[in-house]
Structure 1
Amino acid sequence: MGSRLIPALLIGLLLVLHAQLWFGRGSVPQVASMKQQLAERNLINREAQQRNNSLAAEVRDLQEGLDMVEELARQELGMVKPNEIFVQIAQGKP
């Protein structure tokens, strides 16, 4: 009887471990599902990062464009900001 008890116990243990592998927490199907979800989230994150980069570039372009307009207005039209004093120095011919 003792010679049959050990193999039966080992087979039972093997069945429990096998059931855990397929149906328990951290099972093969659950890990595969989580990998799929991770791949989808990574794709969504990459797309969002591209949109963010595009918007940041657009903001930079707008800021630089406004800086250029302000510089041209100052040089060509002599415009000044509030609380600024504009001083123009004329150079005479020698």
Structure 2
Amino acid sequence: MRLFIIVLLVLIAWLQYDFWYGKNGMKEFTAVTESVSLQQAANAELHQRNQQMYAEIKDLHGGKEAVEERARTDLGLVKPGETFIRVVSDSN
């Protein structure tokens, strides 16, 4: 009976070690879970950026106000008889 108990304890210890530190064990599971959460956060950020780009593309296709705004801000274009004033904030 004593030998049986020792064998069971060794078996339980081996199974616990394998569960925590073995291949596909708990240590690897927590590392993969953390990696997945980081990737999901990155994907959410990229999804937000894509939605903004889709909205901008829709505006550019839809009307000339968006094209005019882009020409004024990016290229500095001014209509005839118009004075262009750009206010730059001091970012200290």
Alpha-carbon offset, residue 5 of structure 1: 1.5
Alpha-carbon offset, residue 45 of structure 1: 0.3
Structure 2 unpaired stretches of 5+: 65-92
**Aligned counterpart, 2:39:** 41
Aligned residue runs from structure 1 range 7-86, under 5 A: 7-66=5-64
Q: How far, CA to CA, are the matches of 2:63 and 2:42 in structure 1?
A: 31
**Aligned counterpart, 1:92:** none
CA RMSD after TM alignment: 1.6
Structure 1 unpaired stretches of 5+: 67-94
Alpha-carbon offset, residue 26 of structure 1: 2.2
Q: How far, CA to CA, are the matches of 2:61 and 2:46 in structure 1?
A: 22
> Deviating runs (4+, > 3 A) in structure 1?
none
- Using structure 2 for the length normalisation, give the TM-score: 0.65
How many matched pairs? 65
Q: How far, CA to CA, are the matches of 1:15 and 1:58 in structure 2?
A: 60
Structure with higher Rg: it is 1
